[in-house]
Amino acid sequence: MSRSITYITGSQLLALRRQPNIAIVDVRDEERTYDGHISSSLHFPSDTFSDNLPNLLLQIKGKDTLVFHCALSQVRGPTCARKLVNYLEESKEDAGIKNIMVLERGFNGWEASGRPVCRCTNVPCKEHGTA
């Protein structure tokens, strides 16, 4: 069964992100360090993403919806989402993931729309920010 990747708007993610079944996966590389990030997002840089897929699956146990993003969600975000889909199909692993999404306009669109950005340096981010 081939999984499809869908897109989610920043407004939709803002409304859903506090639900316990959602994980936000930031695949930007070093720019996360100085640009900030969406609070409570996980950081899995695109340049090492494939090598860290088993670790990602451990960190998202119990989540059924993953939302990927990079700066603009045009290349790295969708590419990493597709890598996860391919990994799950090849390994025949049932990780309980029902929805794999990409954030439209990425982090830059999220921030430009005035949505909350966390500037902590915690790895992983433990902030919950404000809605």
Catalytic positions are 70
**Residues across the chain:** 131
Pairing state of beta strands 22-26 and 65-69? parallel
Position 71: which residue type?
Answer: A
Which contiguous run of DSSP H or E holds residue 22? strand 22-26
Could you give the strand order of the β-sheet that contains 22-26, starting from the edge strand earlier in sequence? 5-8, 99-103, 65-69, 22-26, 42-43
Q: Which residues contact 22 (CB under 8 A, 6 or more apart)?
A: 16, 63, 65, 66, 67
